[in-house]
């Protein structure tokens, strides 16, 4: 069984790519950490990034966690088999994932669902 996934960044209806903007806002070392996790995910599947993921309770969302002093979080969803849709990224400052960041990810996911359904 092929473990590889396709990783897509959320792009809004105007063509804005908030995930790319978030990655661009990080320093080179932080970018490298996240890109490495995305490559492991693509090449080896979800099992390869397990120490870095956590389910966000009561949602379809998952969180990639870059631990340590960086505390970077990236929220994603798996909308179909072997597909990861990256929705939102932020620097976590508190213990719990802020509700506003979960809401941003959920709105983007709903937008993606609505626009993907229109394409069919």
Q: CA-to-CA distance for 89 and 20, rounded, in angstroms?
A: 9
Percent of the chain with pLDDT over 90: 51
Question: Does residue 1 have a pLDDT over 60?
Answer: no
| Domain total in the chain | 1
| Of 73 and 3, more confident | 73
- The boundaries of the domain holding residue 34 are 6-119
Residue 1 lies in a domain: no
pLDDT digits (tens, 9 = 90+) for 67-100: 777 789 999 999 988 899 999 999 988 878 899 9
Average pLDDT of the residues in 52-56: 87
Domain containing residue 65: CATH number: 3.30.2310.20
Cβ atoms within 10 A of the Cβ of 17, count? Answer: 14
List of residues 6+ apart from 73 with CB closer than 8 A: 63, 64, 65, 66, 89, 90, 91, 92, 97, 101
Q: Mean pLDDT, the chain, as a whole number?
A: 88
What's the CA gap between 10 and 86, in Å, rounded? 6
> Reading across the β-sheet that carries 83-91, which strands appear in turn?
6-9, 83-91, 72-80, 62-66, 53-55
45 pLDDT above the threshold of 90: no
Residue 42 falls within a domain, yes or no? Answer: yes
Q: Would 10 be classed as within a structural domain?
A: yes
DSSP 8-state secondary structure symbol assigned to residue 97: P
Structure tokens at 93: 């400052």
- pLDDT at residue 10 in the model: 97
Please check whether residue 100 lies inside any domain of the structure. Answer: yes
């Amino acid at each position: 069984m092929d473990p590889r996934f396709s990783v897509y960044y959320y792009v809004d209806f105007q063509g804005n790519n908030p995930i790319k903007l978030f990655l661009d806002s990080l320093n080179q070392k932080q970018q490298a950490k996240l890109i490495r996790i995305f490559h492991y995910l693509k090449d080896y599947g979800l099992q390869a990034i397990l120490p870095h993921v956590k389910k966000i309770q009561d949602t379809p969302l998952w969180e990639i966690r870059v631990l340590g002093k960086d505390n970077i979080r990236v929220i994603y969803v798996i909308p179909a088999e072997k597909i990861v849709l990256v929705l939102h990224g932020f620097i976590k400052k508190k213990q719990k994932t802020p509700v506003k960041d979960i809401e941003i990810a959920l709105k983007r996911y709903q937008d993606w669902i609505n626009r993907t359904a229109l394409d069919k």
